[in-house]
Amino acid sequence: MEIFDAHHHLWNYQPERFPWINEEMARLKKDFKPIMLEREFKQHGISGSIVVQAIQDEDENHFLLQQADENDFIKGIIGWLDLKSPALRERLNLYVPFQKLKGFRHILQDESDPDFILNAEFQRGLGWLFEAGYVYDLLVFPHQLKGAIKTVENFPDAPFVLDHMAKPSIKSGKMGEWKELIKALGENKNVYCKVSGMVTEANWNNWEENDFFPYLDVVMEAFGEDRLMYGSDWPVCLLAGSYNQIFDIIKKYLNNFPADTQAKIWAKNASVFYRI
């Protein structure tokens, strides 16, 4: 069975460029290079991946494109552009030659305004992005889901994917409004969801695989087998476990489903969404 990692990062660590990596995350204060991830991929039979931006500047795009050019297992990248910029269309045109550039992301979870995504200039930028043929990765917390739902309703034919299941509070064991909002988001058939980023929302040092299964049940019901995709969130996942542990959570959960369903979530859905 083909397996695809639809969400990971790479970086050359520089403190001034990664202010979000605080002392609690000291383990991430070093370089994470493709060769390190390639070893994990070979162990788990993973044939390809999508690498996602971790810094909000255009230098990040060029860095990731270089990694993709030098490493065949990287099948696509998700970069960053200032979607509020009136020059966005011109910036998008510059990236037309780069076939591995599949789409873009803004780190919405860091925005203090829960409705930042609904800013008129940001919405205009999303429209231009979709006109240019790109996809969009949604990175939000649960309290930002209402804005995300309104946004995907504004662009009913545009390709969105929700990163990290919108980061539910797995540590508390509560679902609250997250569950209902995820169901509402999933009603929009143009939205996919990555089963990724879960361990860092749990108790980093004291979690069990069963902690995640109720949350996986929610997204399975909301998005169905045709709109879920596996992602590791490496190396951020290393804060709370190993690549093998993250992989095994999804493997054990999917063991309860037919082979066709597993094949979709492990690889086929990501290949369709990212046009691999």
149-190 residue pLDDT tens: 999 999 999 999 999 999 999 999 989 899 999 999 999 999
CB 7 within 8 A of CB 194: yes
- In this predicted structure, what is the pLDDT of residue 176? 87
SS3 state of residue 118: helix
Find the angle CA(160)-CA(166)-CA(168) to the nearest 5 degrees: 160
Decide if pLDDT at 246 tops 90.
Answer: yes
CB 21 within 8 A of CB 12: no
- In this predicted structure, what is the pLDDT of residue 90? 95
Cβ atoms within 10 Å of 195's Cβ, excluding its own: 24
Indicate if the alpha-carbon torsion angle 156, 161, 163, 168 is positive or negative.
positive
- Only one residue has tokens 């660590």, namely 13
Q: What is the pTM of this model?
A: 0.96
Going by the DSSP 8-state scheme, the letter that residue 6 receives in this structure is E
pLDDT digits (tens, 9 = 90+) for 57-81: 999 999 999 999 999 999 999 999 9
- What is the average pLDDT across 254-263? 96
pLDDT digits (tens, 9 = 90+) for 17-34: 999 999 999 999 999 999
Decide if pLDDT at 1 tops 90.
Answer: no
CB 35 within 8 A of CB 78: no
Cβ atoms within 10 Å of 92's Cβ, excluding its own: 19
Secondary element (H or E) of residue 50: strand 46-52
The conformational region for residue 166 under phi > 0 = left, psi -120 to 50 = alpha, else beta, is left
Residue 102 dihedral angles phi and psi, to the nearest 5°:
-95, -25
* Dihedral in degrees, nearest 10, Cα atoms 216, 221, 227, 233: -10
Q: Single out the residue of 70, 2, 34, 7 nearest to residue 229, CA to CA.
A: 7
Strand order in the sheet with 101-106: 3-8, 46-52, 74-79, 101-106, 135-138, 160-162, 191-195, 228-230
- Tokens in use for 169? 């509070």
Distance CA 86, CA 91 (A): 10
CB 122 within 8 A of CB 82: no
